[in-house]
Each structure stands twice: as C-alpha cells, then as structure tokens.
C-alpha cells in the first residue's frame, strides 16, 4: 500500500510540473472584454448542459459542456451555473467549438472559477461598461 501511495505522489508531482510547463488552457484564454452568461435557467435557444467531470482532472474543476447560447460564447467568456447545493458557480469557457447547424449550438470545456458573490450580476456583456443583458 505504501508503494502505491509513493507512486501516486510521484505521478501527481509529474502532472503538476507538466501543467506548469504547458500552461493552463483556461488561463491562456483570459480576455478584457469578457461576456458572462446566466445559465441558471434554461429556455428555448438558451441552455447549457454540463457533462461529467473531465477524465484525468485531478483538481475536479473541469467539465465538458454543450449548449445553445446567443451570441455564441468565445474562449474566455464566463457562465454562471446552478450547483446541486443551490450555490451559483462562475465558470470560464475554453476550447469553444461552434457546431454550425444549428448556428447557436456549441461544444466547449469549462473550468470553475469561484462561487458568485452576493449582489454581483449574473450576466453582462462587458465588464468594463457594465452593460447588462
């Protein structure tokens, strides 16, 4: 059992080093003109379906997702999703791939950033201008 723990510890350290060298894809797509989408409620043409946790995600904060949003999210945009606990979680889109048909459908990966603080708006199109959707 001890040898397994030592082995897993070495693998974890190798993974952290690889991630430090490669860089985090969610961090690479940060932008100033970020848009935030309120995905706590779904309706026709506005939905986000979050799948299972990403394989080999040791931190447990990344998921695959797909949905219909207008305008289409870009890499670095954020979304607010409702958790089973009732809290609202802010996530960042990365590796966004538009489907093409229908035009508002996409596949993406999301990474959890933090829970939404009280009093902060759930959605806006531009943080600097505070133009609310």
Over residues 7-55, the pLDDT tens digits come to 877 877 776 666 655 556 666 666 778 888 888 888 888 888 888 766 6
The whole-angstrom distance between residue 107's C-alpha and the CA centroid of its chain comes to 11
Q: For the chain, what is the radius of gyration of the CA atoms?
A: 17
Query: pTM of the full predicted structure?
Result: 0.67
Distance CA(7)–CA(11), nearest Å, equals 6
**Confidence tier at 59 by pLDDT (50, 70, 90):** low
Q: What is the DSSP string of 56-92?
A: T-SSS-EEEEEEE-SSPP-TT-EEEEE-TTS-EEEEE
């Amino acid at each position: 059992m001890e040898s397994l723990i030592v082995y897993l510890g070495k693998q974890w350290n190798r993974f952290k080093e690889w991630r430090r060298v490669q860089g985090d894809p969610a961090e690479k797509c940060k932008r100033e003109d970020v848009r935030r989408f309120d995905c706590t409620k779904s309706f026709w043409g506005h939905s986000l379906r979050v799948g299972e946790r990403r394989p080999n995600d040791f931190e447990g904060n990344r998921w695959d997702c797909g949905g219909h949003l207008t305008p289409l999210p870009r890499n670095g945009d954020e979304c607010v999703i409702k958790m089973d606990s009732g809290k609202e979680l802010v996530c960042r889109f990365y590796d966004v791939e538009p489907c093409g048909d229908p035009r508002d459908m996409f596949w993406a990966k999301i990474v959890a950033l933090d829970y939404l603080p009280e009093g902060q708006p759930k959605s806006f199109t531009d943080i600097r201008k505070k133009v609310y959707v």
